[in-house]
C-alpha cells in the first residue's frame, strides 16, 4: 500500500490562473459511443482554445470496455454486454447503472505535464471523497485505482477495488477518467477479470454498508476535486 499524507504529495495540478473547470452532470444514462464522441470533440476544442476544461459525471447502460492493455482471455462473457475498445490506459472494466463515471478533460499543459502525478492526484481525489462519506480508501503501489480493506470474523483479510482509473492523454489534454462504484450490480463484473487482477475483488459503497445517493456522492466528489484540482462551475452536459 502507498502511504499518502492527508495533503496531496503532488503539486502543480491546480491551474496557476485558477480558471474554473466546467462541472457537468447527466441525469440519464449516456450511450458509450455518444460519450466518447463528445469527449473527442471537447478535447479538440480545448486544444484549439475554443473551449475550457470539463469534468463530466454520468452513468452508462451496462457494458464492458477494453483498455489498451486488455487481454482477450480476461473477457469471460463476451456476449453478456456490449464490448467497446476504449483506447484508454488499463484493461477490461465494467460500466453500468449505480456506478458514477467521471470523465475528465483537463489541460495538463496548464497544470503539470506529468501523467504519473496526474494519476496519483486522481487517486487522492477519490480517497478524500470516500473519507467524507465515511470510507477509508487506499492506493496501492503498482496498482492504479482505489481499494478498500475488508476484515470480517472468520474471513481472511482482503482488499477490493472500489474505484477504477483509466485515462488517455492527447496533446497534454486528458480524457476518459474514473469510475466509482456506488451501488452497481456487482454480479455484472463476473463477465470480466476486472483490470486484469484475478486475485482481487470488486466492491461498492452499498456492499460495504454505506448507503448514499448519487447526488450525495457527487457532492463529496465535487468538494474533493476543488481541493485537489481547483475551482469548478456548474455547466450543462455535452449534447
Catalytic center residues: 195
Give the integer Cα–Cα distance in Å for 193 and 196.
5
First-to-last alpha carbon distance for the chain, in angstroms, is 40
Identify which of 145, 137, 144, 108 has the alpha carbon closest to the alpha carbon of residue 220. Answer: 137
Identify which of 7, 5, 24 has the alpha carbon closest to the alpha carbon of residue 232. Answer: 24
Give the integer Cα–Cα distance in Å for 73 and 201.
18
Give the integer Cα–Cα distance in Å for 182 and 213.
8
Q: Report whether 92 contacts 68 (CB < 8 A).
A: no
Q: Give the sheet arrangement for strand 92-95, strand by strand.
A: 83-85, 63-66, 92-95
Give the integer Cα–Cα distance in Å for 130 and 205.
9
Alpha helices per DSSP H over the chain = 32-48, 115-132, 214-229
Amino acid at each position: 500500500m502507498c502511504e499518502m499524507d492527508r495533503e496531496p504529495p503532488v503539486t502543480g495540478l491546480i491551474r496557476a490562473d485558477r480558471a474554473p473547470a466546467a462541472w457537468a452532470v447527466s441525469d440519464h444514462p449516456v450511450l458509450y459511443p455518444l460519450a466518447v464522441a463528445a469527449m473527442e470533440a471537447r478535447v479538440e476544442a480545448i486544444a484549439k482554445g475554443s473551449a475550457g476544461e470539463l469534468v463530466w459525471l454520468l452513468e452508462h447502460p451496462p457494458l464492458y470496455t477494453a483498455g489498451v492493455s486488455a487481454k482477450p482471455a480476461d473477457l469471460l462473457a463476451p456476449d453478456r454486454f456490449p464490448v467497446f475498445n476504449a483506447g484508454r490506459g488499463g484493461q477490461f472494466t465494467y460500466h453500468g447503472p449505480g456506478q458514477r463515471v467521471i470523465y475528465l478533460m483537463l489541460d495538463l499543459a496548464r497544470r503539470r505535464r506529468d501523467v504519473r502525478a496526474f494519476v496519483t492526484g486522481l487517486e487522492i481525489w477519490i480517497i478524500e471523497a470516500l473519507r467524507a462519506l465515511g470510507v477509508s480508501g487506499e492506493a496501492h503501489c503498482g496498482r492504479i485505482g482505489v481499494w478498500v480493506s475488508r476484515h470480517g470474523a472468520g474471513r481472511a483479510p482482503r482488499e477490493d477495488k472500489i474505484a477504477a482509473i483509466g485515462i488517455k492523454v492527447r496533446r497534454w489534454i486528458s480524457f476518459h477518467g474514473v469510475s466509482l462504484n456506488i451501488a452497481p450490480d456487482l454480479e455484472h463484473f463476473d463477465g470480466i477479470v476486472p483490470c486484469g487482477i484475478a486475485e482481487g475483488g470488486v466492491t461498492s459503497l452499498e456492499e460495504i454498508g454505506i448507503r448514499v445517493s448519487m447526488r450525495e456522492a457527487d457532492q463529496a466528489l465535487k468538494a474533493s476535486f476543488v481541493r485537489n484540482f481547483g475551482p469548478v462551475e456548474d455547466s450543462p452536459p455535452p449534447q
